[in-house]
Structure 1
Amino acid sequence: MTALGPAIWGTTYYVTTEHLPPDRPLLAALLRSLPAGLLLVAATRRLPRGDWWWRSLVLGALNIGAFLPLLFLAAYRLPGGVAATVGAVQPLVVAWLAVGLLGQRLTARVALAAVAGVAGVSLLVLRADAALDWLGVAAALGGAVVMALGTVLGKRWPAPAPLLATTGWQLVVGGVLLLPVTLAVEGLPTGVTAENAAGYAYLGLVGAALAYCLWFRGVRLLPATEVAFLGLLSPVVAAVVGWLALDQDLTAAQLAGAAIVLAALVAAQTGGGTSGADHRVRSGGIGRRARAGRSTATRA
């Protein structure tokens, strides 16, 4: 189920370039986050308590307020292949951060899988004639870093409230942070067509409310590194959408890249990523049950 989130995000580049107004990355990020967040908060009727006021601010700023405008800036200024290739470094960044913040080990298998993931994404979506815009490259790299930090901190801080509520908090925080910046830089939206409105609605309801709920659920249940590798599905889906909707060709090199990405994803899921803190939590529970079983057998 967690993999459905990145799969949905794989449609973002298509929707942004084909159905949204040009050169409005901040507006796209704002309309993707704030309405969806308000809808989830209204549905759950839950507000943060205690430490979760400032934790929601931090996570919302990282996962939404900083990540979304960087994502859309990269989408507008770079070919989709370049943006996806730069963003594919996120699993490696998560693995590094998890060493210090979660006590996980960075195994050789995970490191190699992360490098293979970047290579596979580059084969899948990168074109030889792709133009490099350094602001776009910086935005894509910055987006990968802030999302990685948000993923690791989300794992470090177990949420006390239902999933829909905590997802809504983060979306609202990100949207509120984006609102004044959007008005100052891009101004009020003008000339929004019905097609644009449908694109914004899709990104908000499906690309934010649904996809982020699935993603944050995965952060709760799975080791952070394994969750991050699932994000590699996004460029795979983006390539498939381009093939289906835009009549783009899929070459042998692209198919090989997709195979490498999927192999890297599987290797990371089976590569002992639950070492460290996550592993101690799980093994501790198993150990307690085993000791209890032995004690019962002895008494019998």
Structure 2
Amino acid sequence: MRRYRNLGLFLALAAIWGTAFVAISAGLEHFPPVLFAALRYDIAGILMLAYAAYAVDDWYPRGRAEWGLVAVGATLLIAAYHVFLFIGQQNTTAAAAAIVVSLSPVLTTGFARVLVPSDALSPLGVGGLLIGLVGVGVIARPDPSNLLAADVVATLLVFCAAAAFALGSVLTRRAETSLPIETMEAWSMLGGAVLMHGVSLALREPLEPTAWVHPEALGALGYLAVVASALGFLLYFDLLERLGAVEINMVSYVAPIFAALVGWLYLGEVIDATTAVGFGLIAVGFVLVKREALRDAFGRVGWRRSSD
């Protein structure tokens, strides 16, 4: 029974995070991109802080090391990731954005190896990283005569979002603190929201509250803040404990399927063959980089199934 529950939660998380890209595309019709991301985490941060206060004893960071961890999370995992993603997704499809973001686990391994030189990637792992990057290039399809085309720049911005998230993941994992992950996420969300409000003001994004009360705008904001952020991260925490980091990374490769399906149904977006090839290359890169961890992880899955 347990394996079916884990599978159900895994698919639920993939569906939630995949359809979040569709909600972003829908909401961008009504909100300026950075302000939209900031408002999302105003709400999500408050919800997560309330949960942290309920679920853990240390719901408030203490000391320089813990606040430093929150600062990294706020800057890279929340602010940089979402600024690049929301601006980039103005000129790309929800599914294409989800596919490029799925490169994050590969980039995470690359950053980890760079920051820990003694644990370098094998030649096969380097090849996997390069194949994943080629996959992003296939999706971007840059025209040498027009490298600044809107869709190319959009894909590169989404890639920057994936890179920011990957770097932030490595730096937060290396931090030596006992701060609960729920607390780190809550304060990072709130800090990231503040940073994004500052970026929005610096970009002089227009303030048009009358556009924000459109039913689609409110639905997209509510879905992203409550379902994709607050509920999504709670599911992530639960599955991380049950499955482990390698298996939960596979969510990144199932989410684009939901993004493509719902994007087609709701937004009329179509995935072309080139984008599908790019996704395949990124997935191959992930398998090559994580091949040993995947072998161990699926070996444990087989043991758990036989013992149920």
Is 1:186 aligned to 2:205, yes or no? yes
- Which is further off, 21-30 or 213-222? 213-222
Q: Among 185, 198, 211, which residue is 1:167 paired with?
A: 185
| Sequence identity percentage | 28
Find the counterpart in structure 2 of residue 43 from structure 1.
Answer: 51
The structural deviation recorded for 1:247 is 5.2
Aligned amino acid, residue 66 of structure 1:
A
Is 1:145 aligned to 2:163, yes or no? yes
Following superposition of structure 1 onto structure 2, how do residues 1-300 of structure 1 map, counting pairs within 5 Å?
5=13, 7-22=15-30, 24-45=32-53, 46-50=59-63, 51-80=65-94, 83-84=97-98, 86-102=100-116, 104-117=119-132, 132-133=149-150, 135-157=153-175, 160-184=178-202, 185-191=204-210, 192=212, 193-215=214-236, 222=244, 230-246=251-267, 265-266=286-287, 268-272=289-293
Aligned amino acid, residue 136 of structure 1:
A
Aligned amino acid, residue 172 of structure 1:
L
Aligned amino acid, residue 36 of structure 2:
A
User: Whose helix fraction is larger, Structure 1's or Structure 2's?
Assistant: 2
The structural deviation recorded for 1:87 is 4.1
The structural deviation recorded for 1:90 is 3.2
Aligned residues: 273
The structural deviation recorded for 1:30 is 0.5
In 2, the alpha carbon distance for the partners of 1:218 and 1:121 equals: 28
Q: CA RMSD in A?
A: 3.9
The structural deviation recorded for 1:163 is 3.1
Cα 1:187–1:13 change in 2 (3 A) is same
The structural deviation recorded for 1:9 is 2.9
In 2, the alpha carbon distance for the partners of 1:161 and 1:106 equals: 30
Greater radius of gyration (CA): 1
The secondary structure found in structure 2 opposite 1:55 is: helix
In 2, the alpha carbon distance for the partners of 1:109 and 1:87 equals: 22
In 2, the alpha carbon distance for the partners of 1:249 and 1:138 equals: 20
1:251-277 alpha-carbon deviations (Å, 9 max, x no partner): 7777666666555555554424899xx
In 2, the alpha carbon distance for the partners of 1:264 and 1:148 equals: 15
TM-score (norm 1): 0.71
Aligned amino acid, residue 158 of structure 2:
A
Cα 1:144–1:19 change in 2 (3 A) is closer
Cα 1:163–1:169 change in 2 (3 A) is same
Stretches of structure 2 that go unaligned for 5 or more consecutive residues are 1-8, 54-58, 297-308
The structural deviation recorded for 1:23 is 6.0
- Which is further off, 213-222 or 44-53? 213-222
Aligned amino acid, residue 38 of structure 1:
I
TM-score (norm 2): 0.70
In 1, the alpha carbon distance for the partners of 2:153 and 2:278 equals: 26
